[in-house]
Structure 1
């Protein structure tokens, strides 16, 4: 038995400092503080976050400060980049800075809606299939296999085209970007659902899940409280990939005339409209292309940082 006055009993005293004090501080830190600390120590993630914030501000607030509206087509066509038009003018005489602002705004809106919708659907269906197994797993898995046989571009083209025809026939005349985003989200969950299903199949046999079942936890609590937190890193990585894929798929739809429609624009639509200008007027193609690359890099850097920060296998924050 250890005596009260022994050195061992006095070791945890706050005034001693050293390793005991450091250990107490680390273990007492709340989970959100640990996540924030890990994220802020990821330099690439911080760069990505700053870049993404700048792009968002540029897209949603840039139009308030830029001197030319995106609807102004009164400039000389094909002007090269200059002080008055930093990104030049396009084939219709529009200022490319104003058009890039507008295009980035719609591309970000579409990408975010697609990422959120596809991630939620994929995670829920994948988790349900992996945990319940049986006929539920068979039904969801065969439905995913059926949809994977058909190229996603064809599915999106058919859905978007029918919705666009209906909106035009009804005299709506409004923007169709949300229709494009919703349908891209509805077909973008297949890959993440298969990944989550595989992880849940493995995690459902772990000891902590068996313990939760023994304590009488409900299926909902086991899946969403105990299993899915252990897949956060995979979910985040797939969500960030969904953003880049959404921008590219929207560009493909724009190429065949079923993406964002005029007078609205998007980065993908601008690339499609200027694909033949690369040799004669390269700024018309390269400028929206660079912005797509910047969006993808920024989101991927953020995803890497969040994946490392949320990783439940990391128990301590490195000093």
Structure 2
């Protein structure tokens, strides 16, 4: 909706009334949701930390550069691990790879879920039956089991992947085989409702093609659901990738995700707790900040929402 300005007259006095644009209402609700606003600030700082951090903190990630097992100090704020890697540099790198994986998963899974869910809901028939049964079947299997089996088979069939860049492989496995199901199921329900609306019937009566009806008339009315599902997918991808890396089926050296750092230092929890807690705290911060943002976006887009929660 765009801003429009009218000039009504009451008792001979003219005054201007400006309609409030829908996006301004959504923005106002989001800004007044203090937890969501705090989550957005924290997530922005995490992005800055991960992608601009290497420009500020230039410590080497090579083993033995800082001396083994040093506690936090001015020279090494997060200490060093058992083979002398600077822990702050490792956490910066791990946060960057974890966020890259989460963002790729969010884009791929949301796009795939939106497309399949919209087609299933609009076309119905065998398309709906096929997509729905596939979702029902795969939702019966825990996501960690699916991704662990696929990751293990992938790295077994391609042993060189253990020593090569594999974060993108992990991201695609998570996106294609676990993360799009909830998005598709939600979109299917939304499209089933929207396909019976008058504006869709009018477009169909005017001879609009199926792709035009789906992409030009139905999907724009589900933007709120898409955005909220994308934010939720980011948080879920971070946790799932961390779990995979923790059991040594995710990211491998020379790359390092936050889950891999926890896996490498889990045995040091009693003697060198900072090696475990620093990456753990960053996983929690990413998950909480994204969940708070998704909660705020859901409330902001909800037309029934009348009260903004603190």
| 8 A contact 1:230–1:312 mirrored in 2 | no
Q: What does residue range 74-113 of structure 1 map to in structure 2 within 5 Å?
A: 74-113=65-104
| 1:165-187 deviations in Å (ceiling 9; x for gaps) | 45444x89531101111111101
Structure 1 residues 79-101: Cα deviation after superposition (integer angstroms, max 9, x where no partner): 22222222122122211111000
Query: Structure 1 residue 127 and structure 2 residue 118: aligned?
Result: yes
Query: 1:240 & 1:117 partners in 2: Cα distance?
Result: 13
Is structure 2 residue 188 aligned with structure 1 residue 182?
no
TM-score, length of structure 1 as denominator length: 0.83
Q: Name the structure 2 match of 1:5.
A: none
Q: 2:164 touches 2:254 (CA, 8 Å); kept in 1? A: no
Q: Distance in 1 between matches of 2:65 and 2:8?
A: 83
Runs of 4+ that moved beyond 6 A: none
Q: Whole-Å Cα distance in 2 between the matches of residues 136 and 212 of structure 1? A: 22
**Residue pair 2:65, 2:84 contacting (<8 A) in 1 also:** yes
Q: 2: CA distance between counterparts of 1:76 and 1:206?
A: 67
Tell me how far apart the structure 2 counterparts of residues 149 and 45 of structure 1 sit (CA, whole Å).
Answer: 32
Deviations 1:173-202 (A, max 9, x none): 531101111111101111221122122223
Change (3 A) 1:313 1:225: farther
| Preserved CA contact (<8 Å) 1:167 1:173 | no
Equivalent position of 2:225 in the other structure: 234
Match of 1:274, SS state, is: helix
| Aligned counterpart, 2:4 | none
Aligned match of 2:46 in 39, 52, 55? 55
Shift of 1:302: 2.2
Alignment of 1:164-243 (within 5 A): 164-169=155-160, 173-187=163-177, 188-243=179-234
Gaps of 5+ in 2: 1-6
200-209 or 46-55: which moved more? 200-209
Given that 1:59 and 1:105 are in contact with CA atoms closer than 8 Å, whether structure 2 keeps it comes out as: yes
Q: CA deviation at 1:313?
A: 5.9
Shift of 1:16: 4.2
